[in-house]
Amino acid sequence: MKTLDDLLGEGVSGRRVLVRADLNVPFDKNNPGVISDDGRARAVLPTLVALRDAGARVIVVSHLGRPKGAPDPKYTLAPVAARLGELLGAPVAFAADTVGDDAAAKVEALQDGQVLLLENLRFNAGETSKDDAERAAFAAQLASFADYYVDDAFGAVHRKHASVYDVPAVLPHYAGGLVLREVEVLKKVTESPEQPYVVVLGGSKVSDKLAVIKALLPKVDKLLVGGGMCFTFLKAQGHEVGKSLLEEDMVATCRDLLSEAQGRIVLPVDVVAATEFSADAGHVTVDASEIPADRLGLDIGPKSVALFAQAVGSAKTVFWNGPMGVFELAPFAAGTRGVAEAITKIDGFSVVGGGDSAAAVRTLGLDESAFGHISTGGGASLEYLEGKTLPGIEALEK
């Protein structure tokens, strides 16, 4: 892959550079338009600053949420443009469309060292179309705005979308520093992790993580399972799980995985069981084998935190993806916090696999610098670890 450094070496002063960023940031549910976690915006800043300082005319594109291929005010990137301007310390212009008249006018008006953000890519059906011709047509419109293309949106490289896969086929293309770092880190934990290697998986469903479990199990010393997915494993051990999240059709698969792992899969020994899914719900800590029929598990318990911390403590490499409980609700955040804090203390290299795990680090106020690497792409990270070809990376390598 050619890199951003290669592009800067060629000289970009006065040239238009289209930067695919991942600005799919979450918003405060109680305050529409207020960004609750700007981590992804901050992650692309080094690339934007480098291009701006080199005199490029920077055109940033991104998706936000999942609109249905048409404009939807709920998913406008306008608040993100404002926040990006604050982070850059200079105004970021905003186009009210992606490839329409306003975008064309704003691109034409760009001066050296200025930054423009176009409206949500997914307001255009061509961005996510399964039809190659429709996708390529939209990509050609985007590419017409620029002289060069830089992909620094690792969180989107697993999508065969126009701005990720098709634009690089039209423009001279380069990998941004964030994408390069992500690939370097994931290659390290996939191909040559220093042992002992411990993986911590959480989240809702076993089915979502099945492929990565199968890919990693032969490589790890311990695989710690928390979150909603642990209850399907507990059921596979013969325990009743009350009203906890359960994938009945995955119980036999979990039983097979436990047998194959020969003790390397570690499950919670106690859980915090609540009367309902609510911050105000009555809750009690019980043994994982004694979850009451009328309660549901919403976090791992303190004994499990200690067990997981002990396993993590001896590791030289840790990969963590998925919270241990419903960390957004204060009574059920202790499990995620405890395991995350244990990961920060290892004498080795730790990777937070993006998505809810990265959000938990910031929501819980943990020190981001205490982790070796915090990925910006949950889904992309998992697909890389599964051994899948990522369309965005493939496009950059051509």
355 in a known ligand binding site: yes
53 in a known ligand binding site: no
204 in a known ligand binding site: no
16 in a known ligand binding site: no
20 in a known ligand binding site: no
159 in a known ligand binding site: yes
Catalytic-role residue among 16, 205, 264, 388: 205
Q: Is 337 a catalytic residue?
A: no
354 in a known ligand binding site: yes
Q: Is 33 a catalytic residue?
A: no
Q: Is 74 a catalytic residue?
A: no
66 in a known ligand binding site: yes
Catalytic-role residue among 176, 335, 355, 378: 355
Q: Please give, one letter per residue, the 3-state secondary structure of the chain.
A: CCEHHHHHHHCCCCCEEEEECCCCCCECCCCCCCECCCHHHHHCHHHHHHHHHCCCEEEEECCCCCCCCCCCHHHCCHHHHHHHHHHHCCCEEECCCCCCHHHHHHHHHCCCCCEEECCCHHHCHHHHCCCHHHHHHHHHHHHCCCCEEEECCHHHCCCCCHHHHHHHHCCCEEECHHHHHHHHHHHHHHHCCCCCEEEEECCCCHHHHHHHHHHHCCCCCEEEECCCCHHHHHHHCCCCCCCCCCCHHHHHHHHHHHHHHCCCEECCCEEEEECCCCCCCCEEEEECCCCCCCCEEEEECHHHHHHHHHHHHCCCEEEEECCCCCCCCHHHCHHHHHHHHHHHCCCCEEEECCHHHHHHHHHCCCCHHHCCEECCCHHHHHHHHHCCCCHHHHHHHC
Q: Is 348 a catalytic residue?
A: no
84 in a known ligand binding site: no
147 in a known ligand binding site: no
Catalytic-role residue among 40, 135, 160, 222: 40
30 in a known ligand binding site: no
83 in a known ligand binding site: no
Catalytic-role residue among 39, 55, 69, 379: 379
* Residues designated catalytic: 40, 205, 355, 379
As annotated, the binding site for substrate includes: 22-24, 40, 63-66, 122, 159
Binding residues: 22-24, 40, 63-66, 122, 159, 209, 297, 328, 354-357
- Which residues participate in the annotated binding site for ATP? 209, 297, 328, 354-357
